[in-house]
Chain A
Amino acid sequence: MLMQLGLTRGLIYQAAGTVLGMVVAMVWRLLAGMELWDQEVVFVVGGLVGGFSFMWGVGAIDDWLEWCRGKATPLVHGPPRDKPAWTRYFSTDYNHKVIGIQYSVTSLLMLMIGGSFALIFRAELAQADLQFLGIGMYNKLIGLHGWAVIAAILLGVGGMANYLVPLMIGAEDMAFPRLNAFAFWINVPGALLLLASAFLGGFDAGWTAYPPLSTQGSVGYQFLFLAIYFVGLSSILGSLNLLVTILTMRPKGMDLFRIPIFCWAVLATSLIQLTATQAIGTAFLMGLSERALGMGFFDPEGGGNPILFQHIFWFYSHPAVYVFVLPGLGIISELLPVFSRKPLFGYRWIALSSLAIALVGFLVWGHHMFTSGYSQYLRIPFMIATLLVAVPTGVKFFSWVATMWGGRLRFPTPMLFTLGAISVFLLGGLTGPILATVASDLYLHDTYFVVGHFHATLFGGFVFPFCAAIYFWFPKITGRMYNETLGKLHFYIMTPAFWLMSIGQMTVGTMGMRRRIVDYDPTLGGGLIEARHLETTIAAFLIGLSILIMIYNLVTSAEIGVRAPANPWRSRSPEWQIPSPVPEHSFAAPLQVVGEPYDYGLEEEYVVMDESQAGHTQAH
């Protein structure tokens, strides 16, 4: 049974491929007259071959291999014929709904793994001095936490986009279903390499992996670099697919200013992912080759420059923070009108503000490097550009509250999380300008204040909206309702706990606590710092608990929840006009757009199905 799962086969292939790659590298070295063992080279080749072997084993490239042999492979949707239906979730499947769920579940898994790392070092930080965690271990956990949750966020973004975009624009599937499956599965060897790096000494320069520290540490860095290469490949291919889908597969009458607003967020996000991701790939590839082949990009000895890495790294990683949050902000814009029973205020402005944020986001990376030692004068344009991002971000906030104003608000769990998201993202966004202004950043940079800032943006921009999305579309996915009481419990634990945690982080930051330190001076902040840290740790554990409540809720409700009607929220969006759970072929007939997406309060619909065309499936 287990052997019938693509996942199992993939894992076996990956293990075998890794060994094979290592052997090949060693044989090559022997033949070339070098010493047999060089861990840097051997592990890189092993990791690389292993990763692609996984893709082969899981079956994600089967069809393409057939194409190379000149055979056409028809796209069959549906559960596997000769195996139980659930196995499709553990194998290569081309249906975007399956892939969306694969992404989302993997995301939750990574979120919990990454979160657990954080709880470990949060426990250590509850008191000054060293308690149970070694210094080296601490330094490795922070980086691992960072990348595990970033991977989780990227997966979550992919999950929401893959599941929702085709449904929202009435498409049969994504433009390239096979590429879609490939883009999901490549994350799995990526995530495995990331976690496996811990067994090769880990990486102890934080998630940013600045050289020269990262070009000196243990071989675990190589697995990190490879892992991010794989995850990045997923981002690029996935975003390409989403762009083509949104641009070409809309039904008649759905012009770009009539798509559900979430699709605009995905459009902006995908533009960033498609392009900026290459930069982190380049930066990490340079780090990888500096380690493995002695190519001195960042080594000052031969003329290299460590600051160059920071530039390339942040050219990706700043826009990447918008990748993390824009889809979440899209979810907020999507849910507010439904629960306010009122049109989205300023649709076009919200849509275009996503694009504006994405584009301006390419010009601000220098704000992470105000103290790094690059040209003094360049800091000012980076400051101005960063402050400018506040403008389109503000447009979103104002439009949201204007959407609520004058509505008939109701507050089931998804709406609560939407409101929570706005409040938390507000905290994160507003603490941005203080960091963007160079002089104040000279104090706050690399302190816990920054940690507070980006946790607020990432929770407000991703975690809260992701929870909202999960609760909101749970009935559409499973055909059953989640447990409302547990959902609210989750919210009422997580929100105050998060505020406590985030503000606690900012507090210790202004007191003078640096980031990424295992031990702090208890006399800081007039001796009050330890109490703040203890609170923060307790809050962090409460957040963990609340996430467990959500998982419990989701798992049990999928089995025993009450059956959900097709449209429990009375939404106008296309995916709610079809049965729950969504049938294999989502739409029985092509969509026709007859109104506006958010005209709550008006009689006419947004979309209707063109029954005369029933049975006519669209082309892929």
Chain B
Amino acid sequence: MSALAADAIEVYRTATRNNRMGMWLFFFSELFLFGGLLITRFALWVDEDGHIIRPELDQNVGLIVTVVLLASSYFMNRSEVAIANGRKRDFLVSLWITGFLGVVFLLGVVIFEWGLIQLPFIEHHIGPTDGVFGAVIFGMTGMHAIHVITGVAFIVVVWRNGRRDVYTEERHWGVEACAIYWHYVDLVWIFFYPAIYLIGHAVH
């Protein structure tokens, strides 16, 4: 390896190290956003006696979208491992599935949970103007959905670049960033889901 190439790989490693730190700091920052929303939920969803309550929501929708999102994280991980081992095809296919599942999640939330299209078999629709239940649900799922949308956009970009061989075994910070971002968004949902759907006793 020429001295120049060694220099270049060293530069890339340093840059990636800094990028990684920046990314984690960003997540740390976002923790306060999602944490704020969670605190809002527990501050507002209480009854007169101080018991924690929750609205009655369609449990099927909640469970299905959660499973879909968790599954997407698996494929995202698979995709990242694939590129690190140079399996380009696997990388692209897994990434594609991740993005697809992400879109399914979004549609699940927007269409079924938000009730953009009212379907007879979905029960208990709540609108944004329905008191604190509506406000918090739409605040939490909305903020999360924004992150999922950017995540999907990120996946599309990485997928397109991946097809054009931008990433290699050694150099694929773009894929890594996309993956940890996706896992992070997923993780947030793991806290949001019980907070919205499970904790407290349901009232209507």
Instruction: List chain B residues, Cβ under 8 A from A290.
Output: 135
Instruction: List chain A residues, Cβ under 8 A from B160.
Output: 70
Q: Is the CB of B18 within 8 A of A70?
A: no
Instruction: List chain A residues, Cβ under 8 A from B36.
Output: 278-279, 282-283, 312, 315
Q: Looking at chain B, what size class is its interface with the partner chain?
A: 35 or more
**How long is the Cα–Cα vector from A42 to B22 in the complex, in angstroms?**
35
**Is A303 part of the binding interface, using a Cβ–Cβ cutoff of 8 Å?**
yes
Known A274-B28, A275-B29, A619-B10; judge A297-B21 contact (CB<8 A): no
**Is B150 part of the binding interface, using a Cβ–Cβ cutoff of 8 Å?**
no
Known A244-B21, A297-B135; judge A278-B29 contact (CB<8 A): yes
Q: Is the CB of B139 within 8 A of A289?
A: yes
**Is B52 part of the binding interface, using a Cβ–Cβ cutoff of 8 Å?**
no
Q: How far is the CB of A252 from chain B (nearest CB, A)?
A: 14
Instruction: List chain B residues, Cβ under 8 A from A312.
Output: 36, 39-40
Segment from B56-64, B94-102, B126-134 that makes contact with A: B126-134
**How long is the Cα–Cα vector from A275 to B166 in the complex, in angstroms?**
34
| A interface footprint on B6-32 (CB within 8 Å = 1, 0 otherwise) | 000011001101100110011011111
| B interface footprint on A275-319 (CB within 8 Å = 1, 0 otherwise) | 111110111011001100111110001111100100110010000
Instruction: List chain B residues, Cβ under 8 A from A56.
Output: none
Q: Is the CB of A240 within 8 A of B43?
A: no
**Is A243 part of the binding interface, using a Cβ–Cβ cutoff of 8 Å?**
yes
**Is A236 part of the binding interface, using a Cβ–Cβ cutoff of 8 Å?**
yes
**How long is the Cα–Cα vector from A50 to B31 in the complex, in angstroms?**
28
Q: Is the CB of B134 within 8 A of A305?
A: no
- Give the residue of A243, A297, A304 whose beta carbon is less than 8 angstroms from that of B25: A243
Q: Number of A interface residues, CB 8 Å? A: 44
**How long is the Cα–Cα vector from A279 to B134 in the complex, in angstroms?**
21
Known A70-B160, A278-B33, A278-B36; judge A295-B135 contact (CB<8 A): yes
Question: Nearest residue in A to B161 (C-beta to C-beta)?
Answer: A70
Q: How far is the CB of B149 from chain A (nearest CB, A)?
A: 14
**Is A241 part of the binding interface, using a Cβ–Cβ cutoff of 8 Å?**
yes
Q: Is the CB of A293 within 8 A of B44?
A: no
Known A282-B36, A282-B37, A289-B139; judge A244-B130 contact (CB<8 A): no
**Is A424 part of the binding interface, using a Cβ–Cβ cutoff of 8 Å?**
no
Question: Nearest residue in B to A274 (C-beta to C-beta)?
Answer: B29
Q: Which 6 A-B pairs have the closest CB atoms?
A: A302-B131, A295-B135, A278-B32, A294-B129, A282-B36, A303-B132
**Besides the contacts A278-B36, A293-B138, A619-B14, what 12 more A-B pairs have beta carbons closer than 8 Å?**
A236-B29, A276-B32, A278-B29, A282-B40, A286-B40, A289-B138, A289-B139, A295-B134, A296-B129, A303-B133, A305-B43, A311-B43
Binding site for B on A (CB under 8 A): 67-70, 175-176, 179, 236, 240-241, 243-244, 247-249, 274-279, 281-283, 285-286, 289-290, 293-297, 301-305, 308, 311-312, 315, 619-620
